[in-house]
């Protein structure tokens, strides 16, 4: 996969440099885990001006680090205990280094066969904890580079690289989140309580506590395997099960703001050393359709904690 040249495949999304100046790594995060807050989700789209229909788009690690033993697709960064990985939209880590690597077994996508020679795929750049102990240090940008291109042909973008922008400083911290798991009962409501799209039931208020052994700026990411009501910000879909209700979802707020799903957002305040930061949340039913049909109305959300 040579570097991109004047004639070939272009995209406005590559080169891509992710900005991240400082990361606090949890001392309790298990080795092999992605470090929360380091995930950079990148959507790449574009087209080729030569015929590449059906050909696979791959990625290769361009840094000088070696693959970590026991962690396929995770490469050395120069900081002990920290590795880097690139993940395709099927959740597979890319395993292969150098401009001539062959990672067709974990493709990023394919060139379309409809005559447009277009492409559209997603990748995630992330850092991985690779040891129980993480040393403080600086990640060199040159160790974070992955190349993107068509196997056996040209690169995509000029230069065809995804990397972190600048150097990244690391330090460790120990934080706890409580409660770890909780269930919020929203209550039973007659369909007549909903009077049109956007109407809601009374909010249920709850909170989570964050306690750290050093002062940090927490970041929270809210996600849901049930999916989202894309036309209604802050609303997750109901869990699909027998007898599920329709025309309604669950609205979530964090720190008084509608949840911004799948993105890390700073809490309103720092968490000061050895003090518990209380983060308020709310949940309520939210009418999404023209009519509401009765049934079960359950939902699941996951809150991921990161800090800097």
- Exposure string for 256-267, b = 16+ CB within 10 A, e = fewer: eeebebeebeeb
Q: How confident is the model at residue 135 (pLDDT cuts 50, 70, 90)?
A: confident
- Eight-state DSSP code of residue 237: P
For residue 44, what pLDDT is reported? 95
Q: Is the pLDDT of residue 9 over 60?
A: yes
Q: Is the pLDDT of residue 43 over 50?
A: yes
How large a percentage of the chain has pLDDT more than 90?
A: 67
Is residue 127 within 8 Å of 137, Cβ to Cβ?
A: no
Question: Six-digit token pair at 105?
Answer: 């077994």
Is residue 74 within 8 Å of 83, Cβ to Cβ?
A: yes
For residue 191, what pLDDT is reported? 93
Q: How confident is the model at residue 168 (pLDDT cuts 50, 70, 90)?
A: low
pTM comes to 0.74
Q: How confident is the model at residue 133 (pLDDT cuts 50, 70, 90)?
A: confident
Please report, for residues 7, 46, 55, 114, 120, the alpha-carbon distance to residue 13 in angstroms, rounded to integers and kept in the order given.
17, 8, 20, 22, 11
Average confidence score pLDDT of the chain: 90
Measure CA 155 to chain center.
25
Evaluate the CA torsion angle 56, 62, 68, 74 in order and state its sign.
negative
For residue 2, what pLDDT is reported? 47
d(CA 123, CA 192): 45
Q: How confident is the model at residue 141 (pLDDT cuts 50, 70, 90)?
A: confident
For residue 172, what pLDDT is reported? 80
**Domains defined along the chain, listed by start:** 9-173 (2.60.40.3310), 175-307 (2.60.40.1090)
Cis peptide before 204 (omega within 30 of 0): no
- Eight-state DSSP code of residue 194: -
Please report, for residues 18, 73, 127, 169, 263, the alpha-carbon distance to residue 87 in angstroms, rounded to integers and kept in the order given.
15, 9, 11, 22, 17
For residue 3, what pLDDT is reported? 46
245-297 tens-digit pLDDT = 999 999 999 999 999 999 999 999 999 999 999 999 999 999 999 999 999 99
Question: Six-digit token pair at 248?
Answer: 């309604």
């Amino acid at each position: 996969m040579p570097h991109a040249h004047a004639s070939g495949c272009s995209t406005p999304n590559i080169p891509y440099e992710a900005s991240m100046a400082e990361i606090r790594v949890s001392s309790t995060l298990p080795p092999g885990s992605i470090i929360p807050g380091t995930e950079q989700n990148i959507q790449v789209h574009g087209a080729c001006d030569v015929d590449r229909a059906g050909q696979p788009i791959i990625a290769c690690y361009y840094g000088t680090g070696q693959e970590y033993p026991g962690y396929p697709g995770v490469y050395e960064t120069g900081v002990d205990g920290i590795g880097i990985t690139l993940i395709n939209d099927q959740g597979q880590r890319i395993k292969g280094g150098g401009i001539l690597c062959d990672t067709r077994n974990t493709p990023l996508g394919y060139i379309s066969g409809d005559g447009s020679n277009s492409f559209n795929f997603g990748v995630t750049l992330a850092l991985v904890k690779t040891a129980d102990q993480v040393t403080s240090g600086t990640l060199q940008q040159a160790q974070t580079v992955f190349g993107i291109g068509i196997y056996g042909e040209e690169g995509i973008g000029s230069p065809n690289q995804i990397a972190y922008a600048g150097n990244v400083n690391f330090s460790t911290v120990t934080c706890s989140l409580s409660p770890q798991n909780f269930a919020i009962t929203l209550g039973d409501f007659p369909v007549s309580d909903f009077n049109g799209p956007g109407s809601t039931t009374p909010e249920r208020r709850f909170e989570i506590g964050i306690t750290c052994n050093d002062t940090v700026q927490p970041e929270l990411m809210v996600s849901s395997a049930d999916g989202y009501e894309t036309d209604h910000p802050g609303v997750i879909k109901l869990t699909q099960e027998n007898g599920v209700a329709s025309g309604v979802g669950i609205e979530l707020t964090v720190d008084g703001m509608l949840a911004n799903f799948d993105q890390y957002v700073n809490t309103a305040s720092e968490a000061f050393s050895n003090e518990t930061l209380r983060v308020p949340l709310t949940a309520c039913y939210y009418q999404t359709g023209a009519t509401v049909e009765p049934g079960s109305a359950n939902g699941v959300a996951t809150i991921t904690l990161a800090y800097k």
